[in-house]
A = this chain, B = another copy of it.
Amino acid sequence: MSRTRTAQLMDGAGLARRVVEEASDRAAEVTRRSGATPCLATVLVGEDPASVTYVRMKRARCAKAGIESRLVSLPAATTTAELVETLRSLSRDTGVHGILLQHPCGPHIDERAAFEAIAPEKDVDGVTMSSFGAMSFGLPGFASCTPGGIMRLLDEYDVDPAGRHAVVVGRSAILGKPVGMLLLARDATVTYCHSRTSDLAATVREADIVVAAVGRPRLIRGEDIKPGAVVIDAGYNPGNIGDVDFDTARLRARLITPVPGGVGPMTIAVLLAQTVTAATTQLGLVRG
């Protein structure tokens, strides 16, 4: 009997597979119709092991999905100006449809300046201010990949944010802020919490939808989850530990993303899907 009270798991891994399959089919269609293959350029500064691993993984996924991937590896000593010039050059390159700047780039790089050198129509990672504006104002544009993946997960499990109270814990430029804006665009009442929030637990207790995106292991405890809430754990912490204490939260939530296998796989899936969409638009196969 007690098992029936635990939350249903939101299977991000499974959904991501389907999203990638669909992207792969669309990529093949692009190639068939235009002769060109959708191409994602990935820019890597330095040789941070985690970044190298992420990039390798993304390139392998591209290859499997029929998306060309071009790796631009720059030395760790690359300046912001050089990085900006590289990104501008890729923005002009008609053979490249999507651009991903692997970040963090290192403390000597002005990442915002670098992001803004990416043409909005190639910003398949959704990091430019233009993409953020589009997400905020409900305009066409690419979502940041993790927030976009979270919205796909909610849709997949028929969670309509309209009129629900969504509490977003974390306010980063690529995760907390945009996911809040996407939820607001879908008519949720949205609260942004962060390190300066005076009573995080009390705020989380009022949430119909919790999005944890702060990178602090098990910060959100099960006792603070409102019974029946939807819990999205976008936390990345060493040892595959999320921002939510999964074992206790699942006893109160209605739906919950596991870590790993929840939000994580959606990020690359959305990246690939958006790359194919960018290619489709840029190659004139649909009206942009």
**How close is A222's CB to chain B, nearest CB, in angstroms?**
22
What's the interface size class on A, roughly? 20 to 34
Q: Which of B136, B163, B173, B189 contacts A177 (CB 8 A)?
A: B136
**How close is A188's CB to chain B, nearest CB, in angstroms?**
8
Does B162 contact A137, Cβ atoms closer than 8 Å? no
Copies in the complex: 2
* Stretch of A12-20, A43-51, A78-86, A127-135 that contacts chain B: A127-135
Q: Which residue of B lies closest to A185 (CB)?
A: B171
A156 to B194, CA, bound (A): 25
Is A184 engaged at the interface, CB distance under 8 Å to the other chain?
yes
Contact with B along A60-96 (1 / 0, CB 8 A): 0000000000000000000000000000000000000
Is A193 engaged at the interface, CB distance under 8 Å to the other chain?
yes
Contacts of A6 in B (CB 8 A): none
Is A31 engaged at the interface, CB distance under 8 Å to the other chain?
no
If A129-B134, A173-B137, A191-B189 touch, does A163 touch B112 (CB 8 Å cutoff)? no
